[in-house]
């Protein structure tokens, strides 16, 4: 039997989180870490940030005592764009990008699409995104190749990648300077 947390405890937690000013990292599962290493191989460690947007941060370790620079971000499309549905439901894709807004890679993790086996499951679908800027149109039939009879699937997957990446860049990267501070 699960016990509910008293209202006042929830209120204290919410107020406390507001005063802290940033989300605390959560643990990253081994399966997620393995996938993240495939997408962002230059990273040495990953953090899962739950709020305000659920995403992963990738860091490269420096010399002991040095600050680890942020080298990339990653997210599941179903976390950042939960209202984008394809033909049979949502498509869960893990998306990795660097701090300049370049997509490093994507992995389709899960879907129920009946035509996925000849569209988003093929290696050429994720290959189209690698090295692309999130500022590019990223539209099926334009700069992303479409597959006949899988239009809804392709468009939903692409739209979730494009919108999620842009949203994360606005929220996380927009406030960061690329110049070192004196």
| Tally of CA atoms within 13 A in the half-sphere of 39 that contains its CB | 34
Residue labelled with tokens 């860091």: 59
How many CA within 13 A on the CB side of residue 106? 31
* Residue 107 β-bridge partners: 94
State the pLDDT at residue 89.
Answer: 97
Nearest to 88 by CA among 59, 68, 113: 113
Domain spans, the chain: 22-173
pTM: 0.82
pLDDT at residue 176, rounded to an integer: 66
* CA–CA distance, 127 with 50 (Å, rounded to integer): 28
Per-residue pLDDT of 134-175, as tens digits, reads 999 999 999 999 888 899 999 999 999 999 999 999 999 887
State the sign of the Cα–Cα–Cα–Cα dihedral 89, 90, 91, 92: negative
Q: How confident is the model at residue 54 (pLDDT cuts 50, 70, 90)?
A: very high
The pair of structure tokens assigned to 67 is: 């600050």
How far apart are the C-alpha atoms of 24 and 173, rounded to whole Å? 17
């Amino acid at each position: 039997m699960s016990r509910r947390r008293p209202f006042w405890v929830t209120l204290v937690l919410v107020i406390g989180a507001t005063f802290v000013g940033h989300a605390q990292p959560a643990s990253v599962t081994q399966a997620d870490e393995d996938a993240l290493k495939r997408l962002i191989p230059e990273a040495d460690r990953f953090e899962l940030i739950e709020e305000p947007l659920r995403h992963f941060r990738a860091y490269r370790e420096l010399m002991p005592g040095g600050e680890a620079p942020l080298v990339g971000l990653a997210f599941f499309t179903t976390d950042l764009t939960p209202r984008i549905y394809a033909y049979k439901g949502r498509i869960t894709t893990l998306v990795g990008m660097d701090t300049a807004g370049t997509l490093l890679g994507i992995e389709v993790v899960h879907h129920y699409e009946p035509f996925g086996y000849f569209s988003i499951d093929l290696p050429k679908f994720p290959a189209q995104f690698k090295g692309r800027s999130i500022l590019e149109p990223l539209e099926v039939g334009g700069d992303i190749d479409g597959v006949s009879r899988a239009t809804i699937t392709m468009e939903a997957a692409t739209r979730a990648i494009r919108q999620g990446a842009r949203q994360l860049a606005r929220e996380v990267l927009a406030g960061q300077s690329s110049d070192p501070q004196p």
